[in-house]
Structure 1
Amino acid sequence: MNYPEQARRTIRIEIEELESLQTRIGDSFASAIATLLRALEKRGKIIVCGVGKSGNIGQKLAATLNSTGATTVCLNVGDALHGDLGVIDPGDIALLLSYSGETTELLSLLPHLKRLDLPIIAMTGGLSSTLARHADHVLDVQVSKEACPLNLAPTSSTTAMLVLGDALAMVLLEARGFQAEDFAKLHPGGSLGRALLTRVSDVMRSGEQLALVQPDCTVSQALEAMTKARAGAAIVANADGTLAGVFTHGDFVRAFQRNHAISDLPVSGFMTRNPISIQADKLAAEVLATLEKVRIDDLVVLDAERRPVGLVDTQDLTRLHLL
């Protein structure tokens, strides 16, 4: 048996089903987003319910929504019928997941949700099912076949449900104007939280740790300033304080290889002009994003008037557990 090819077949089938799903997203999706927005604006909760594999997808969706500031409760259907309906408040909205739309346990919950006057969003492949008929909005996750060779195990259908749930959460995030700073407040732990809560000004080198020279300074003087600051780069600033360039250890090595007699020459002849820079008030996460795009070890930090005020060294980011 060709195991890699079997794996590729599974992935191909699921990709094809996702491509089909993409073409069916339309007015019902937009209406569901609008209803969710209204509920959240009134401080309502999203109540997510599903059974079996759909319930597992529901738990992941609830976690994603909560992590992006949309208060969500994943309600166990069995527990709901034995007291946990008390978690529901006026103004909440129900998001029910069932591929067939005929899951007995989930349908038993419908009358109670209707009695509580909750708007219902159904995520289902059964567009004519009982669940779909009683829902205010229907999100279609129908697939033509499962990736299972027996066409039995939920595979393509759960993937479609998972991806549509992610799309729902991400569109809702954008519609609410949720920003990186908001995300940081909900994710304070680990390097991601630190990067999103930390400003460039908090991690940059400044003062005596900053090698700052003028364009007419010699290469030797620039190296001396770098040694004193224990830095791998010197920022070159014009007389008015604006940025002229940056002179790195790498710049020195390349220049020295071409001409050993450069010590008394102006550093302006060897510096990198218009170096990549970042504003001091930006998030440290933006430093990480910049470093992913360009291979540099030092990033110049500017103030609002574009005057150099600091330097971010990648070694410092590692030390601070931001990398």
Structure 2
Amino acid sequence: MERPCKRRRTIEPESQVPTPPASECEGVSTKLLDSATAILFEQAAAVTNIHNLYQTNELARKSLANAVAAILQGQSRRGKVIICGVGKSAYIGMKLTATCKSLGIAASFMHACEAAHGDLGDVRSDDVVLFISYSGKTPELLNLRPHIPLSTRMIVVTSKMTREECLLISDRDDGILLPAPVHKSEEECFGVTAPTTSTTVALAVADMLALIVADQLHGDEKGRVFKRNHPGGAIGMRHEEVEAVRKDCVDVSILELPSPSISAKDEDSSSEAI
């Protein structure tokens, strides 16, 4: 009896995804990278513009000097810088607050919305309230203005160039305006009004202010103050500690300990109770 022949399986060739011509791939890649570098160019131009402003504009330079003096006076009286904003400006404010703290400048962040719901209780007469508002007329910040004591100095980081243009301090003779304009509108640069160059400039001005205040407060001790306040992370590690890690492969990770409220005994008790 003859054995039946095995049916041969026909293996279909795998479908091939057509590969676009090399020239087409390169064209897409070049266009993408050109757009990316154009964005970086506009960001850099915005920072260059603000650098030139504070280097040449006497009004901006005087405003910076007044802002530093106001903060130093508040710090000498055990006051603090209360930084306030909403939206993307709030994130810039949070970063400025963290920078100030690490540099030994007493500071706190106050979200504009939470301020109207009780956080205004953080404001004292020797404090300085620093608003971050590109328009200078953010409604949430305007709502707070009548509730800030007249004895509390106010600083605004804004795109406006004069105090009269900025509604947040237009009626306060002692209000200080720190200009942070952009060289071109974001819609003109990128086709969208999303805060990009404006937040880059605001952050640059904020860092400038924090570092200048730290210089005036601590002088040559600024670095030591920062190290004291920033013992964690790679920044906080001393050079010899870094070398020890590299040489001996020391494990510097922090072990996560169990919560004191949870233990094997508790679990046993729970089981018995059930």
TM-score computed with the length of structure 2 as normaliser: 0.69
Aligned to 1:261: none
Q: 1:36·1:93 contact (CA, 8 Å) conserved in 2? A: yes
- Residue 316 (structure 1) shift: 7.1
Q: RMSD between aligned alpha carbons?
A: 2.2
Q: Between the two proteins, what is the percent identity of the paired residues?
A: 32
The alpha-carbon distance between structure 1 residues 11 and 91, as it changes in their structure 2 partners (threshold 3 A), is same
* 1:1-323 alignment, distance < 5 Å: 1=28, 2-25=31-54, 26-113=61-148, 115-127=149-161, 128-134=165-171, 136-147=175-186, 148-177=189-218, 178-195=221-238, 284=239, 314=243, 318-319=247-248
The one-character-per-residue Cα deviations of 1:160-209 (angstroms, maximum 9, x if unpaired) are 001110111111111112432221221122343231xxxxxxxxxxxxxx
C-alpha distance in 2, partners of 1:155/1:10? 10
Quick check: 1:191–1:321 contact (8 Å CA) kept in 2?
A: no
Match of 2:15 in 1: none
| Cα shift at 1:74 | 0.7
Q: Which amino acid aligns with 1:162?
A: L
DSSP-derived class of the 1:74 partner: strand
More strand per residue: 1
Larger RCO (CA under 8 A, 6+ residues apart): 2
Q: Is the 8 A contact 2:49 2:183 kept in 1?
A: no
With over 3 angstroms needed to count, the CA separation of the structure-2 counterparts of 1:321 and 1:184, relative to structure 1, is: farther
Higher helix proportion: 2
Decide whether aligned partners of structure 1 residues 5 and 101 sit closer, same or farther in structure 2, where only a CA change above 3 A counts: same
| 1:223-262 CA distance string (max 9 Å, x none) | xxxxxxxxxxxxxxxxxxxxxxxxxxxxxxxxxxxxxxxx
Q: Take 2:183 and 2:192, find their aligned partners in 1: how far apart are those partners?
A: 10
Any stretches of 5+ residues in structure 2 without a counterpart?
1-27, 55-60, 253-274
Moved over 6 A (4+): none
Q: Distance in 1 between matches of 2:147 and 2:166?
A: 18
Q: TM-score, normalised on structure 1? A: 0.59
Instruction: Classify the secondary structure of the residue corresponding to 1:163.
Output: helix
Q: Report how far residue 318 of structure 1 moved.
A: 3.9
Q: How many residue pairs end up in the alignment?
A: 207
Check conservation: 1:145, 1:151, Cα contact below 8 A: no
The change in CA–CA distance for 1:37 and 1:318 in structure 2 (over 3 A counts) is farther
Shift of the 15–316 alpha-carbon distance from structure 1 to 2, 3 Å rule, reads closer
Amino acid paired to 2:181: Q
